[in-house]
Amino acid sequence: MDGQLFFKKLNSLCTSKEIFDFLSSLEVMSDTMASGALQRISEIEVDDKGLKNPEGVLENEVFRALCFRFEFESSKLSNAGLLNALQALINLRIDPQSTLVASLLSEGEKRLGKGQLSVKNLCSLGESLLELENPSYATLEQIMNHMQEMDIEKWSPREMVLVYKILQVTVKEGKPYQDLLNRMNSVTLTIVSQLSPKFTSIILNSLVVLNQTQAVPLVTALCKHSVKHIAYFIGDELVDILEAFLYFGYHEQIFTEVLEKHVPKSVCTMHPQTVSKVMQYCCRKRILSKPIFDAVAESFICNGDRFTTDQIAGYIVPFGTLNYLPPSASSLFRKLETILHTRLRHFQPHTLLNLLHSCVLIQRYPLNFLPKIFSPYFLQQLQAQPPGLDRIVTSQLIHLFLTVTLECPFYEGPKLLPKNQVKGFLMPHSLDVHLLKRVKTGLLYLLKKRTYFASEVSTPYFYIVDIEIKLDEDGFVLPAAQCEEVHRRIALCVDGQSRFCPNSRNLLGEEAIKQRHLQLLGYEVVQIPFFEIENVQNCREVAEYLRKKLFP
Note whether residue 386 is domain-resident. no
Mark which of 66, 92, 116 sits at the end of a domain: 116
Q: Residues 115, 145: contact at Cβ < 8 Å?
A: no
Note whether residue 480 is domain-resident. yes
Task: Count up the domains in the chain and report the number.
Answer: 2
User: In which element (H, E) is residue 349 found?
Assistant: helix 349-361
Mark which of 116, 138, 158 sits at the end of a domain: 116
User: In which element (H, E) is residue 186 found?
Assistant: helix 178-191
User: In which element (H, E) is residue 477 found?
Assistant: strand 477-478
Predicted confidence (pLDDT) at residue 399 exceeds the cutoff of 60: yes
- pTM for the whole thing? 0.86
Note whether residue 312 is domain-resident. no
Reference 319, options 303, 300, 305; nearest CA is 300
CA-to-CA distance for 472 and 468, rounded, in angstroms?
A: 14
Per-residue pLDDT at 27: 84
CA-to-CA distance for 338 and 225, rounded, in angstroms?
A: 42
Note whether residue 262 is domain-resident. no
Q: Residues 510, 427: contact at Cβ < 8 Å?
A: yes
Counts for the chain of helices (H) and strands (E), in that order: 27, 7
DSSP 20-75: HHHHHT-S---HHHHHHHHHHHHHHHEETTEES-HHHHHT-HHHHHHHHHHHHSGG
pLDDT digits (tens, 9 = 90+) for 56-95: 899 999 999 999 999 998 999 999 999 999 999 999 999 9
Note whether residue 385 is domain-resident. no
Note whether residue 252 is domain-resident. no
Mark which of 116, 133, 164 sits at the end of a domain: 116
Reference 358, options 422, 433, 283; nearest CA is 283
Per-residue pLDDT at 481: 94
Note whether residue 298 is domain-resident. no
Per-residue pLDDT at 428: 46
Reference 286, options 514, 532, 499, 529; nearest CA is 499
Q: Residues 321, 313: contact at Cβ < 8 Å?
A: no
pLDDT digits (tens, 9 = 90+) for 326-382: 999 999 999 999 999 999 999 999 999 999 999 999 999 999 999 999 999 999 999
Note whether residue 29 is domain-resident. yes
HSE, side-chain direction, 13 A CA sphere, residue 478: 18
For residue 253, the tally of other CB atoms under 10 A from its CB is 10
Per-residue pLDDT at 549: 94
DSSP3 helix / strand / coil % (the chain, rounded to 5): 65, 5, 30
Q: Which residues pair with 489 in a beta bridge?
A: 470, 523
pLDDT digits (tens, 9 = 90+) for 478-490: 999 999 999 999 9
User: In which element (H, E) is residue 208 found?
Assistant: helix 197-209
Domain range holding 459?
433-550
User: In which element (H, E) is residue 351 found?
Assistant: helix 349-361
